[in-house]
Amino acid sequence: MEHDQLHLWFLGDPHQPRYVGALQLSIPGGNVSLRYDLAWIKTGFPLSEDLPLRDGEFAPPRVVRAPVRAAGAIDDARPDRWGEKVIRYVTKPGRLTLMEYLYYAGDERFGALGISTSAAVYNPKPTHALPRLEDASTVSEAIARIENSEPLTQVQAKFISGSGSPLGGAKPKAVIEINGEQWIIKFFNNEPVDAPLVEHASMTLAAKACIEVAPTQVIQISGINAIAIRRFDRQDGKRIHAISAGTAIRAESDQGRDPDMAYPVLAQILRRRGISQGQLNERQAIELFRRMVFNILIDNTDDHEKNHALLMDDPQGVRQLRLAPAYDVLPSNSGQGCQEFRCGQEGFDSTLSNAMSECALFGLSDATAVSEVKAVVDVVNGWKEHFKAIGSTVALDAGRRIEGWFRRTTPMLPRWRCGTAGRGGDG
């Protein structure tokens, strides 16, 4: 493989890959640019708003303190931090370029893009079949060996290297097949609490707050819990084109300036580019408001740009976006008092007054926003009974942080106003 040039393909239908264009590694710098193939310009679609269908080389914007990136939506095809660790441990030790990470991430990456060594035929990194549920213990053992810097068996290496790299972070995970569907399985990683069970309890609690969440199930491996989350970028054998919130916001930000990674900004994208049929775009902006409030209440401060995603079900048609189901939702138990995503006029502060301060950008009036918050508060107020029903004393112990945060936040309810943001409507 030549490390300075590869080729991008679209795998909406994995049986009929479509060539998108050439990827080029910048030297020096390490960024990855895209040049669309002329056939894709005629018959394809923009992968993200900062990659319009025209000839020329698209490079990531130059921003102060920016890390190495790939252009637009291609950056979401890179492995997460855990995926990078697996690649260095199993496939290619040493320091790798972003182009190499893109290639070695394999064929089950987030979304519907694929990386090939050829422009004539889709030729990705060779991988093995995904592990099945009955192979989860072998995958878990492989992860433990990687964490302890121990050598892998041939079977362990096969399973862990071929299990994809979904959107996420540094926690150990893998893609497995359950009843013909792809699920992301996240393993216990010596946390002070039973994190997989707590995440399952938190996700199902969010569903009670009328938040669409990715389906989850708890799996026991040698007496230890793991959580499986069904992939939302796969459906009926097809792959759904998907981008992270960070990519969507960055694509519509002024060049050369740090993007405003914020719930209100993402809400505006949903209202403008979301699915207008049945006013789904307006409803999803309101749901995003609920997610923000829920994250504040349960102290989920790990709500960064990669932990929100948008799906494009009909990229060849109207190219409207919809909010992906919530994922990676659980208490951080950090007490840091600030979110990763900006909430309102008070910046990243984890307060409900801050969440309310720009409610108009979600299409909410003062009164409707208060009603939405009260509904979420009522659900979170029952967290203890819900966690108990999940069947975990450990989950209850981990939930103490929720109780403390809830007490701190709820007395502010009668005083909430949207401030200078307005009364709702188009924004």
Distance separating alpha carbons of residues 92 and 103, to the nearest angstrom: 11
Distance separating alpha carbons of residues 8 and 99, to the nearest angstrom: 11
Higher local confidence (pLDDT), 240 or 192: 240
Distance separating alpha carbons of residues 289 and 418, to the nearest angstrom: 13
Across the range 395-408, mean pLDDT stands at 50
Distance separating alpha carbons of residues 419 and 351, to the nearest angstrom: 15
Per-residue CA distances from 183 to 105, 190, 309 (Å): 17, 22, 17
Question: 148: Cβ–Cβ under 8 A, 6 or more apart, which residues?
Answer: none
Distance separating alpha carbons of residues 95 and 92, to the nearest angstrom: 9
pTM reported for the whole predicted model: 0.91
- Quote the pLDDT of residue 334: 74
Per-residue confidence band for 407, with pLDDT thresholds at 50, 70 and 90: very low
Q: Phi-psi category of 273—alpha, beta or left, where left has phi over 0 and alpha has psi -120 to 50? A: alpha
H-helix or E-strand spanning residue 149: none
Distance separating alpha carbons of residues 104 and 124, to the nearest angstrom: 9
- Quote the pLDDT of residue 64: 52
Distance separating alpha carbons of residues 348 and 340, to the nearest angstrom: 7
Per-residue confidence band for 65, with pLDDT thresholds at 50, 70 and 90: low
Question: 108: Cβ–Cβ under 8 A, 6 or more apart, which residues?
Answer: 127, 130, 162, 163, 164, 165, 166, 175, 182
Across the range 126-137, mean pLDDT stands at 91
Q: Does domain 133-234 have CATH number 2.40.110.10?
A: no
H-helix or E-strand spanning residue 208: helix 195-208
Per-residue confidence band for 391, with pLDDT thresholds at 50, 70 and 90: confident
Q: pLDDT tens, 293-306?
A: 999 999 999 999 99
Domain spanning 239-421 has what CATH number?
1.10.1070
Residue in 379, 350, 351 with CA at minimum distance from that of residue 213: 379
Residue in 135, 230, 228 with CA at minimum distance from that of residue 182: 230
Domain spans of the chain? 5-116, 133-234, 239-421
Q: pLDDT tens, 34-56?
A: 999 999 999 999 999 999 999 99
Across the range 381-399, mean pLDDT stands at 72
Concatenating the DSSP letter of every residue in 338-357 gives B-SSB-BTTBTB--HHHHHT
Are 347 and 272 within 8 A, CB to CB? no
Distance separating alpha carbons of residues 110 and 167, to the nearest angstrom: 6
- Quote the pLDDT of residue 426: 33
Residue 221, beta-bridge partner list: 224
